Amino acid sequence: MYKLHLEKAYFPAQSDMDAIDVPIGEGLREVTASNIYKPALTEIRQDGSRGRSWTYGALWDDCERLALALSSRFTKGEKVVVWSPNSPEWVFMEYACALAGLVLVTANPSLQAKELRYILEQSGAVGLFHVQEFRGNPMAQIATLASDGNNFLREVTDLDDHDVLFARSSNEARLPEVSTSDPAQIQYTSGTTGFPKAALLSHGGLLNNARFYADRCGVTEHSIWINIMQMFHTSGCGMVTLGAMQAGAHMVLVSLFDAPRIVDLLESEKADVVLGVPTMVVALLEEQELTPRDTTALRVISCGGANVAADLVRRVKKAFGCGFSTLYGQTEHCPVITQHHLDDSIDDICKTIGQPIPQTDVSIRRLTDNSCADLNEPGEICARGPCTMLEYHDNPVATSETIDADGWLHTGDLGTMDARGYLKITGRVKEMIIRGGENHFPAEIENAMLTHPEIQEVAVVGIADEKWGELIACFLRTSGDATLSAAELKSHCRSELSPQKTPNLWIEVKSFPMTGSGKIQKFALRDLFERGELTPLTA
């Protein structure tokens, strides 16, 4: 860990790693030069079978060939949408667009016509690259519907049709000069509160963020990294893909998450690192506990996206015999902001979100006047550094509301910072619950409830009430066949927190509505409850 003793809730950027001034394509070129024959990418098909493989040299050849093809059909700075599940072609497009100076716009393969149309039109895309279907979603048909009448779109291409994908419109194609500060991707925010915004991310932001994250995970040129994260999110195409590449590691890319198959892969591939959201980690853990495999090669399971129960960390360490590292971030920061060190205690892993990554200022700002808060004083978590997004595409108002005049990215998350520079999340600025005039922070209550051994996941939400303004509702998912009463839950909460923070409503769910990046959609829980589709537990 960084050994600091802070006096205010301001963590100055640490320079234990330099920020590199290299665009994504050049990064791949440099790594390839010294790792030309090393394994770079292996495909795991949707049925779980092992597919195609590439060395770094072969991967570079395919990416450069595609980049030249794209450069012959598009102009530097133009935007193209990649709409596909995880596949080697997705990886080709990521590096080829970077080399060609194109802005890659990511899209969730589960989107329907109205949602895809919005992304195509809002981004101003001139190309759409898709597959025929995924998990029953007729993507080719939807692509036709979504692009109908779009006068900007010049090309709609099937990623699996290599004759068309790699075709050149002329033999004089050349790759342009690309800088670190150029835009590389548009990533749409995951929409935990509704309408998504388009974060424009730079080459340097994505590359440095992945490098900082992978280094803290201990990834090396000998690492084998199972990528189970969706490539349309910064975790899949940024943290893992670009992190593994910069280390010269071998990435095993999984098209479809299936817990038994992934645990099999951890054994057969002798993987040493895997990143997942909590629901994935829980599924992997339950599979390993049910049918143990040899995972002695596994060094670390990295987890992001929600609070983590102490019992889960202990079970993971016991079942897999590996370390556990959580992280905190958001799309607008490419995405990692804070992360645990591999030697952090279980107490820090479960009760904090770690220390900031290198080269990144982090502070807690008061909501009243944007001044720096005192240690352990709640305020808004803000970050500043090379990984901050360029802007929200075509949305200057939202950009100015998010990045202030001093360059601070306002995350919208409430938190505190201790003297060591470890942060805790206490809630969302817009999710703060005001009951009877008193402020309550959902994350504080969620962390307390996660200490119950039978609770796997939890979300605390404010519900409108005429008398109190808002009531505190606790939505929870238990492990196995466990059944909990409202009285038992209330008693547990009282043992952890003061009485006024105890939820008024306890609602058990079998599963949570999730965003594509694995975050709980709290607004959807509120809607389900208010429509009467979810019933509170009784005493």
Residues 45-75: tens digit of each pLDDT:
999 999 999 999 999 999 999 999 999 999 9
Considering the domain 22-45+53-417 in this protein, what is its CATH number?
3.40.50.12780
**Residue ranges of domains in the chain:** 22-45+53-417, 432-530
Residues ≥6 apart with Cβ < 8 Å to 169: 72, 73
Only one residue has tokens 């779980």, namely 48
What is the pLDDT, as a whole number, of residue 190? 58
What DSSP designation does 500 have? G
Cα-Cα-Cα-Cα dihedral of 254, 323, 248, 337, to 10°? 90
What is the pLDDT, as a whole number, of residue 157? 98
What is the pLDDT, as a whole number, of residue 447? 87
| Model pTM score | 0.85
Are the CB atoms for 359 and 14 separated by under 8 Å? yes
Token pair for residue 277?
A: 């959201």
Are the CB atoms for 271 and 225 separated by under 8 Å? yes
Residue type, 359: Q
Cα-Cα-Cα-Cα dihedral of 52, 236, 183, 29, to 10°? -40
Rounded to 10°, the helix 56-73/24-34 angle is 150
Residues 346-381: tens digit of each pLDDT:
999 988 999 999 999 999 999 999 999 999 999 999
Looking from the CA of 506 toward its CB, the CA atoms found within 13 Å total 20
Please give the Cα distance from 266 to 225 (Å, whole number): 9
β-bridge pairing 300-304 and 336-339: unpaired
Residues 373-387: tens digit of each pLDDT:
999 999 999 999 999
Within the chain, which residues score under 50 in pLDDT?
191-194
Please give the Cα distance from 521 to 525 (Å, whole number): 7
Please give the Cα distance from 448 to 456 (Å, whole number): 12
Please give the Cα distance from 330 to 519 (Å, whole number): 11
Token pair for residue 52?
A: 């195609």
Only one residue has tokens 């591999």, namely 342
Are the CB atoms for 334 and 238 separated by under 8 Å? yes
Structural element, H or E, at residue 481: none
What is the pLDDT, as a whole number, of residue 185? 98
CB-based burial, 13-47: b 16+ in 10 Å, e otherwise: bbeeeebbebbbbbbbbebbeebeebbbbbbbeee
Please give the Cα distance from 35 to 56 (Å, whole number): 6
Token pair for residue 118?
A: 């919005």
Q: Tell me the fold of 432-530.
A: GMP Synthetase; Chain A, domain 3 (3.30.300)
What is the pLDDT, as a whole number, of residue 192? 44
Q: Concatenated DSSP letters for 11-27?
A: EPPP-SSPPP---HHHH
Please give the Cα distance from 108 to 471 (Å, whole number): 34
Q: Reduced to 3 states, what is the DSSP secondary structure of residue 242?
A: helix
Same fold, 22-45+53-417 and 432-530: no
Residue type, 66: L
N- to C-terminal Cα separation, the chain: 45
Please give the Cα distance from 426 to 299 (Å, whole number): 30
Please give the Cα distance from 524 to 252 (Å, whole number): 34
Strand boundaries in 357-441, DSSP class E = 361-365, 379-384, 391-392, 409-417, 423-428, 433-435, 438-440
Pick from 297, 357, 352: which is nearest to 321 by CA?
Answer: 297
Are the CB atoms for 216 and 341 separated by under 8 Å? yes
What is the pLDDT, as a whole number, of residue 193? 43
What DSSP designation does 235 have? I
What is the pLDDT, as a whole number, of residue 306? 59
CA-CA-CA-CA torsion sign (407, 413, 416, 420): negative
Residues 261-315: tens digit of each pLDDT:
999 999 999 999 999 988 899 899 999 999 999 999 999 999 986 567 788 899 9
Please give the Cα distance from 137 to 141 (Å, whole number): 9
Are the CB atoms for 137 and 124 separated by under 8 Å? no
Residues 145-164: tens digit of each pLDDT:
999 999 999 999 999 999 99
What is the pLDDT, as a whole number, of residue 496? 84
Strand boundaries in 134-280, DSSP class E = 155-158, 183-188, 198-202, 224-227, 250-254, 273-276
